[in-house]
């Protein structure tokens, strides 16, 4: 169905003025929040505090400490009328890491797979409650580096392979987390898309790609009022990210308008000059070779005039303002009540249990993140007479419990999270075996199991003559600070681990109702996909501490699957546009050169351009019901800044200068896209509706780019009107000459669909 734009007379609010972290916009409100008044008040308080401080005292704000109760801290400072106690920094994006009585939530990649803003925000709130309960000031979360390289180790921490999806997930995570009074630190800025050589590499990225792909999630983070941003350990275009003035001063603080500090990743500071180039806090405060890049060296530089005292004041203000913004100066904000370096020290650990009822959040988000890839009537289960679970991934940890491996760099049972600083410490893990055994007992199903991955003969015998055979496989990865089975952070390949492919084939050869369950940090190849006895494939990802219960909810139909892939699953690793650069730094070439030559064509954008058929496309996922789309309409919304909008609409450059990218008029709704959605099946369920733009060829954009989505729940047979909005930012491309966002000339296609390759309705926006 084709439709063209018509103009409406309705006006639109430019921004939601007076927004604070404690009065966030409602989920789904597309009017951009305006935190400017809240930031101004926080800056006023910070300025009063530092007014009488010495140079040395102001430098103390900027220089971290690594030996403390927390992962990192800054020292306390006494002002004229009050005391700043210092900041407690703690990992990470899916848990309060290395601390007891905390929850391990579904990883970022699973959270993105829900495509549900409300669930993403609820996870953010729950994370914030746990960080606050432990007395943490700054949570190193969220992480949203792009899954540019399919086997990159930390992809599981982020939100997938699309900048719009990652940006929306970052926005809701930050809004939710900061509503609890905890500072969010968005990371890693920027171009940190592989683990190998991350401290000895230069990511070489052109300006347009930087703006349209890798900076976009940080734009949405700043719009959400993010308190802090962490710069990455890699170089960008031959300069360290934490000392790159163009990135930090020009783009992040100037163009995007970030108000808080930039904090370095550990040991990512090149030297004292990084302060002039936009870095505000150095962590861990000292250099690997000794001394500190800030501390006394920064003090000396300021006194010598090499770095201005105005810049030092700016650093101190940026660090202190979020403390006031988030109400952490209040008497009731908790102090750190744990010792991350020694959880058994009775003097420094209060062992506060902050989990509350967050298991419910984990279970709900986990179930909503499970993607049904294939189903030939095998699911949902209907009280099978017999069933078998095959594979170690179905089992609980069998040797020493779920925290057997340091940083979770290893797995002995079900895979629920990757490894590294972005992991968590488990209070418990519900395995598939435990959850399914409870349900089988209730249904009087005879359930058997075989947890050996390597004896495929015995596995086939176990699977024979069962009404349904589940075979569980996995693939793990993490940060380069840990290694597992020869995988130093990044995965060596994208095949199933532990003999998984052979295990699947053995079980499928023995049972004509084989269901494959995949727990994985990212895509794997599936050489067994077309096996006639494989009746269902369930993509469970890494769903945290309630993994088994979330899976059982979907398998039995208590939850109708609605998740969609946040990346493409290809037939083979060479189908992806970017490769893991496995070069090593040398004396002659001290930086590994990682060239982002694919430009804008990341993940599905590349597959569309090159007409490559994947196993499963970006945005794909099945349901136990079906949905119909109809009656597309596109309406323009009159704005309130006509001169700017007219300039933009004529494809002229937009405004330049500070705050260009986060100019609120650019982000306010400009078009409403409405259509009717009907649940045409016999089961209540949620559909993830997706909006893709198809730019004119002259724009030199990928064939299709995601610019909208919504999760819509409908009872069987019900219909509803769905409305998605498009802002000028959504429609724009980055003009490298004018350094502005402009509307491409010509007609922009609008596609509504159920995935990146399942178009249901088509319309257009004419210039």
Quickly list H helices, 149-291: 163-178, 207-209, 216-223, 245
Tokens matching residue 563: 């998740």
Which H/E stretch holds residue 755? strand 748-755
Query: What three-state secondary structure class fits 219?
Result: helix
Which H/E stretch holds residue 239? strand 239-240
Whether the upstream peptide bond of residue 460 has omega within 30° of 0, thus cis, is: no
CA dist., res. 599 & res. 579, Å (int): 13
Q: Are 378 and 536 in contact (CB under 8 A)?
A: yes
Measured at the CA of 425, the angle between CA 424 and CA 428, to 5 degrees, comes to 120
Tokens matching residue 327: 């109400």
CA dist., res. 102 & res. 100, Å (int): 6
Alpha carbon of 556 to those of 443, 465, 545, 549: distances in Å? 11, 21, 19, 11
553 in active site: no
Closest-CA residue to 400 (of 438, 435, 426, 432): 426
Closest-CA residue to 743 (of 755, 732, 756): 732
Q: Return the exposure string of 341-351: e unless at least 16 CB atoms fall within 10 Å of the residue's CB, then b.
A: eeeeeeeebee
3-state SS string for 253-264: HHHCCCCCCEEE
Q: Are 698 and 605 in contact (CB under 8 A)?
A: no
Closest-CA residue to 727 (of 637, 613, 600, 633): 637
Count of CB atoms within 10 A of residue 171's CB? 27
Strand 733-735 relative to strand 740-742, pairing:
antiparallel
CA dist., res. 706 & res. 603, Å (int): 12
Which H/E stretch holds residue 441? helix 432-443
CA dist., res. 683 & res. 257, Å (int): 46
Write the DSSP symbol of residue 416: -
Count of CB atoms within 10 A of residue 356's CB? 13
Catalytic-labelled residue, pool 34, 100, 265, 603: 265
Closest-CA residue to 541 (of 644, 415, 429): 415
Chain centroid to CA 522:
13
Strand 386-390 relative to strand 446-450, pairing:
parallel
Q: Are 560 and 715 in contact (CB under 8 A)?
A: no
Which H/E stretch holds residue 547? helix 547-555
Q: Are 545 and 426 in contact (CB under 8 A)?
A: yes
Query: What three-state secondary structure class fits 362?
Result: helix
Query: What three-state secondary structure class fits 238?
Result: coil
Q: What are phi and psi of 377, to 5 degrees?
A: 85, 5
Tokens matching residue 328: 């952490």
Quickly list H helices, 6-54: 36-50
Strand 386-390 relative to strand 468-475, pairing:
parallel
3-state SS string for 583-603: CCCCCCCCCEEEECCCCCCCC
Chain centroid to CA 486:
26
The set of catalytic residues is 265
């Amino acid at each position: 169905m084709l439709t063209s734009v018509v103009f409406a007379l309705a006006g639109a609010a430019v921004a939601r003025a007076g927004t604070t972290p404690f009065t966030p916009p409602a989920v789904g409100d597309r009017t951009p929040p305006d935190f400017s008044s809240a930031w101004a008040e926080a800056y006023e308080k910070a300025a009063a505090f530092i007014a009488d401080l010495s140079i040395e005292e102001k430098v103390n704000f900027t220089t971290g400490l690594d030996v403390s109760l927390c992962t990192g801290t800054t020292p306390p400072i006494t002002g004229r009328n009050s005391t700043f106690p210092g900041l407690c920094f703690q990992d990470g994006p899916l848990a309060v890491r290395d601390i007891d009585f905390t929850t391990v939530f579904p990883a970022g990649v699973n959270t993105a797979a829900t495509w549900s803003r409300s669930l993403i925000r609820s996870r953010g709130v729950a994370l914030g409650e746990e960080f606050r309960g432990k007395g943490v000031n700054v949570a190193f979360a969220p992480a949203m580096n792009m899954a540019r390289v399919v086997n990159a180790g930390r992809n599981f921490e982020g939100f997938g392979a699309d900048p719009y999806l990652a940006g929306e997930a970052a926005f809701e995570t930050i809004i939710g987390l900061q509503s609890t009074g905890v500072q969010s630190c968005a990371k890693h800025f920027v171009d940190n898309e592989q683990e190998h050589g991350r401290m000895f590499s230069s990511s070489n990225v052109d300006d347009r790609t930087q703006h349209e792909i890798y900076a976009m999630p940080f734009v949405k983070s700043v719009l959400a009022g993010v308190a802090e941003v962490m710069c990455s350990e890699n170089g960008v275009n031959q300069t360290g990210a934490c000392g790159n003035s163009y990135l930090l001063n020009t783009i992040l603080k100037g163009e995007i308008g970030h108000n808080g500090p930039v904090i370095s990743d550990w040991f990512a500071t090149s030297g004292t000059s990084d302060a002039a180039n936009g870095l505000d806090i150095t962590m861990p405060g000292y250099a690997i070779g000794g001394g500190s890049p800030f501390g006394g060296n920064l003090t000396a530089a300021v006194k010598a005039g090499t770095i201005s005292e105005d810049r030092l004041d700016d650093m101190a203000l940026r660090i202190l303002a979020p403390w006031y913004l988030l109400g952490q100066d209040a008497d009731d904000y908790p102090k750190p009540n744990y010792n991350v370096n020694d959880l058994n020290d009775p003097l420094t650990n209060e062992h506060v249990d902050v989990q509350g009822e967050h298991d419910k959040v984990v279970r709900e988000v986990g179930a909503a993140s499970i993607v049904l890839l294939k189903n030939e009537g095998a699911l949902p289960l209907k009280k099978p007479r017999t069933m078998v679970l095959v594979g170690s991934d179905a089992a609980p940890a069998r040797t020493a419990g779920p925290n057997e491996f340091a940083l979770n760099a290893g797995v002995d049972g079900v895979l629920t999270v990757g490894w590294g600083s972005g992991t968590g410490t488990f209070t418990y893990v519900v395995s598939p075996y435990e959850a399914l055994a409870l349900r089988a007992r209730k249904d009087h199903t005879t359930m058997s199991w075989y947890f050996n991955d390597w004896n495929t003969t015995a596995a086939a015998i176990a699977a024979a003559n069962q009404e349904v055979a589940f075979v569980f496989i996995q693939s793990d990865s993490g940060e380069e600070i840990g290694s597992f089975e020869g995988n130093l952070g990044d995965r060596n390949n994208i095949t199933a681990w532990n003999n998984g492919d052979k295990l699947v084939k053995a079980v499928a050869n023995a049972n004509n109702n084989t269901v494959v369950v995949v727990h994985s940090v990212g895509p794997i190849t599936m050489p067994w996909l077309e096996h006639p006895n494989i009746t269902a494939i369930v993509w469970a990802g890494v769903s945290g501490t309630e993994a088994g219960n979330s899976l059982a909810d979907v398998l039995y139909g208590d939850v109708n699957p609605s998740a969609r892939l946040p990346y493409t699953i290809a037939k083979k690793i060479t189908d992806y546009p970017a490769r893991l650069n496995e070069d090593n730094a040398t004396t002659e070439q001290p930086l590994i050169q990682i060239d982002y030559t694919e430009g804008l064509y990341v993940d599905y954008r590349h597959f569309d351009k090159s007409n490559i058929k994947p196993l499963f496309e970006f945005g794909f996922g099945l349901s136990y019901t079906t949905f119909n789309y109809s009656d597309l309409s596109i309406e323009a919304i009159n704005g309130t800044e006509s001169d700017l909008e007219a300039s933009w609409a004529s494809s002229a450059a937009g405004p330049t200068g500070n705050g260009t990218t986060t100019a609120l008029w650019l982000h306010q709704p400009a078009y409403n896209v409405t259509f009717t959605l009907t649940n045409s099946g016999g089961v209540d369920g949620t559909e993830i509706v997706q909006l893709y733009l198809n730019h004119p060829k002259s724009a030199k954009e990928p064939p299709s780019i995601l610019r909208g989505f919504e999760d819509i729940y409908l009872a069987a047979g019900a219909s509803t009107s769905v409305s998605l909005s498009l802002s000028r930012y959504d429609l724009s491309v980055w003009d490298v000459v004018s350094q502005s966002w402009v509307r491409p000339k010509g007609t922009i296609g609008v596609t509504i669909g159920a995935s990146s390759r399942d178009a249901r309705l088509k319309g257009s926006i004419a210039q």
